Amino acid sequence: MLSIIKENSNSLEEIFENSFDYIYLHDKKGNIIDVNNIIVENLGYSKQELLNMKVTDFLVEEVKSDIINDIKKTIETGIADEPSTYKMRKKDGSFIFIEVSAIPLKKDDKFYAVLGIGHDITAYIKVEQKLKESEEYYRLITENANDLIRVLNERFEIEFVNETAHFKILGYPKEELIGKPAIFLNHPEDYTTIRRFLRKIFKSGEGTHESRVRHSNGQWIWFEIKVKMFENEKGKTKYLFVSREITERKKAEQELRESEEKFRVITEQSFMSIMVIQDGILKYFNERLPKRLGYSREEINNWAPNEFAKVIHPDYRDFVLEQARKKQEGKEDVINNYIYRSVRKDGSHGWVENFSKTINYGGRSADLVMSIDISEKLDAEQKLKESEEKFRNIAEQSFMGVIIIQDGQVKYMNKALSKISGYSIEELTNLSQKDMLKMIHPEDLDLLLKRLQSNIDNTMGEFSNNFFRIINRTGEVRWLEDYTRKIIYEEKPANLISIVDITDKKKAEQLIIEENKRLQELHELRKDIITRVSHELKTPMTSIYGATQILIKLYMDDIGKEAQKYIEIGHRGSLRMKQLIDNLLDVSRLDAKRFELLFQKENLIELIIDCVNDMKYLASNRQLKLKLDLPNESHLNIDRLRFRQVLTNIISNAIKNTQKNGEIFINLVEETEYVDIHIKDTGVGFTKKEIVKLFEKFGKIERYGMDLGVDIEGSGLGLFISKEIVELHGGKILVESEGRNKGSIFTIRLFKNK
């Protein structure tokens, strides 16, 4: 019995040994296995003498056959026997009366012992005897008893209590109890079981049960209560209640249950497989074991003693079983912690780390085994080894210098670093980090040290990048670029530094910088020349254009037809030249960020119609139809002059790129947030490559020799300027075309909130 208690809580041993109850354990033949101290003290035998006796050795002859039958019944039915009273002989020949409850104990559904719990009721028996002889003697006994004694009438009202014990144990004076229903002090949760127990008393006349009683201070105390029904000398039914406090025993039972529950919760939540093996049989295991092995709990429950070996790889089976055998035999050379290979149900293999310890289980030695699957850990270690090998192979073949510095010391470097520095690997290996810093160019040393400190503070895995110069062994200055990353090297933080010689790159960059500077100067010179030339050309070109315009409007009738032809040619040429000069000046203003707009609210519809009217002459010359689909009005804040320039550019573009007898459609769609002006033509369209170039500066689409029947003249600046003007309005220009000879759609989108 003691060994079972020890499995769950050492604190229960003290309760067992110091209990006022008689607690013993015997086998199916009645041989005593274990007893507690009170039995040794009260019967007068030594514990060793008792362990060599049978339970029937203490009984008088007239009750031996009864207890033997009770033992057989308990073993056969597996049900705890009802409490029975036996007269027992002490070593000195005197007798005591014991009330005993017999409880069958099982492990794995097999009976192995009977647990007997009894208490000395000699005083109660004597009280019953003396009651018949003398009521005064009865009162004397009850008042000096340590148990609560009550007598109830047929209505279960309290008629008598042993006043001293009730006040001492429950804190109630006699006056507060007499005449009250016996149940008034019981816990409400116990009412149902009490009523069931009382019905049993009505039938059998006696019985025992447990319930809680309220102390005067409000606490609840557990009692074991024995009830006997009797008739007094007047023939009236009375009930004798004898109650013994069992609060400590109940606490011990609760602690035992909680201890068992904690054990199960901990083991079932554990990441480790936990087993108890005794005599080669798996007595207990948690859910992690079947999950790790791939078997069901039912399958493992039905394993024979030798079947557990099948989950151990053949290469390790003899070793593992040998360690288990040594542990069971208590050998000193047993290995308690080892790694072996396991075999899962599906045939796959895994690696397991095993921890074992000898424990007392059911009164006998057993092996507590805890194991954890380390397959992933070993796989990771193997991958780490492979990764390190790959790193070394790559590092040794790399043109970059690779170095690992840890705690200020060089832990690894490759051959490329030797080539960069001019020193041998052996020489570099013997250098400290301080010595290596002496190779740094003096002008770069302070900055590099600050960056190195920054690298130390970096988060693990974060990259940093530095540029610096070194003076190699030959005295040559070399530019280096390093990429530093904090890593874990041999389980400690370290810096992995990759070094690239960028001396040639630096020289090339310097050449590029100088060349870019010269190009920038040329670019500024070009812009200045274009602006100056444009301004210088604008005045004479305006004069030529104005003069040819006056000749055409006022003097054409006075000029011969042959001369008229040349005047018109000159007029058209001066117009194109004027437009080109205006565009060049606009581009210069855009580049110099001096392109200013004057915004005011305008009716877009009127502006579109004005532009179309200006274009009708050009459209009629190419026999094109201009079709409009416009609302009455649409007002937005725009620069009228510049936006007219955009419309003119795009509409004229559509006219120039549409073959004769084609059509151009212009419509305006007003949405909630923006206004779209669509200019659609049936012209030559654009390929995807042409659309990409449309809005570039001087992005003219060259169509010489294509025979498309369109006007191929132009500078390639109109759409670039138009796009810039629209974007300065907070809008954008969109282009759609399905390809050559499938027309195009230009959309000018202006947002209302810009």
Quick: pLDDT tens for 281-291.
888 888 888 88
**What is the model's pLDDT at position 621?**
84
Residues contacting residue 106 through CB under 8 Å, at least 6 positions apart: 78, 112
Q: What value does the mean pLDDT take over residues 458-467?
A: 62
Percent of the chain with pLDDT over 70: 80
Q: What are phi and psi of 602, to 5 degrees?
A: -130, 155
Q: What value does the mean pLDDT take over residues 547-557?
A: 72
> Residue 710 corresponds to which amino acid?
V
**What is the model's pLDDT at position 139?**
60
**Nearest 10 degrees: Cα torsion 203, 206, 210, 216:** 110
Residue 15: pLDDT band by 50, 70, 90 thresholds? low
Whose tokens are 């060259």? That residue is: 702
Output the 3-class SS for 163-197. HHHHHHHHCCCHHHCCCCEHHHHECHHHHHHHHHH
Q: What value does the mean pLDDT take over residues 209-230?
A: 90
**What is the model's pLDDT at position 478?**
86
pLDDT at 148 over 70: yes
pLDDT at 124 over 90: no
> Do 131 and 124 form a contact (C-beta atoms < 8 A)?
no
DSSP calls for 426-475: HHHHT--HHHHHTTB-HHHHHHHHHHHHHHHHSPTT-EEEEEEEEE-TTS
pLDDT at 308 over 70: yes
Q: What value does the mean pLDDT take over residues 367-378?
A: 82
> Residue 666 corresponds to which amino acid?
I
Centre a 10 Å sphere on the Cβ of residue 374 and count the other Cβ atoms it contains: 15
Residue 541: pLDDT band by 50, 70, 90 thresholds? low
- Tokens coding 578: 């004027």
**What is the model's pLDDT at position 589?**
66
Q: How far is CA 429 from CA 391, 394, 405, in A?
A: 19, 20, 11
Q: How far is CA 439 from CA 134, 243, 410, 452, 507, in A?
A: 116, 96, 15, 15, 21
Output the 3-class SS for 502-571. CHHHHHHHHHHHHHHHHHHHHHHHHHHHHHHHHHHHHHHHHHHHHHHHHHHHHCHHHCCHHHHHHHHHHH
**What is the model's pLDDT at position 614?**
81
Count Cα atoms within 13 angstroms, Cβ side, for 355. 8
Q: What value does the mean pLDDT take over residues 362-381?
A: 79
Find the helix or strand (DSSP H, E) in which 33 lies: strand 32-35
Task: From 154, 158, 174, select the one nearest 237 (Cα to Cα).
Answer: 154
Q: Which strand ranges, in their side-by-side order, compose the sheet holding 744-751?
A: 625-629, 663-670, 674-681, 744-751, 732-736
Q: How far is CA 408 from CA 432, 447, 456, 494, 754, in A?
A: 7, 18, 11, 9, 60
- Tokens coding 201: 């008393």
Q: What value does the mean pLDDT take over residues 108-132?
A: 76
Burial 175-190 (b: 16+ CB within 10 A, else e): ebbeeeebeebbeeeb
Centre a 10 Å sphere on the Cβ of residue 545 and count the other Cβ atoms it contains: 19
**What is the model's pLDDT at position 305?**
67
Percent of the chain with pLDDT over 90: 8
Task: From 312, 313, 304, select the one nearest 282 (Cα to Cα).
Answer: 304
Task: From 150, 162, 158, 217, select the one nearest 184 (Cα to Cα).
Answer: 158
Backbone torsion region of residue 461, taken as left when φ is above 0, otherwise alpha when ψ lies between -120 and 50, otherwise beta: left
Task: From 396, 482, 462, select the one nearest 388 (Cα to Cα).
Answer: 396
Distance of CA 521 to the CA centre of its chain: 59
Burial 247-267 (b: 16+ CB within 10 A, else e): eebbebeeebeeeeeebeeeb
Quick: pLDDT tens for 488-526.
877 788 888 888 888 888 888 888 887 777 766 655 655
pLDDT at 560 over 90: no
Gap between the Cα atoms of 669 and 630, Å rounded: 8
Residue 156: pLDDT band by 50, 70, 90 thresholds? confident
Rg value, the chain, Cα: 55
Q: How far is CA 341 from CA 39, 55, 350, 351, 352, in A?
A: 52, 51, 6, 5, 6
Task: From 22, 20, 3, select the one nearest 12 (Cα to Cα).
Answer: 3
What are the chain's domains? 2-120 (3.30.450.20), 123-253 (3.30.450.20), 270-378 (3.30.450.20), 412-501 (3.30.450.20), 507-588 (1.10.287.130), 596-751 (3.30.565.10)
Residue 666: pLDDT band by 50, 70, 90 thresholds? very high
Residue 9: pLDDT band by 50, 70, 90 thresholds? very low
Beta bridge partners of 276: 284, 368
* pTM summary value: 0.32
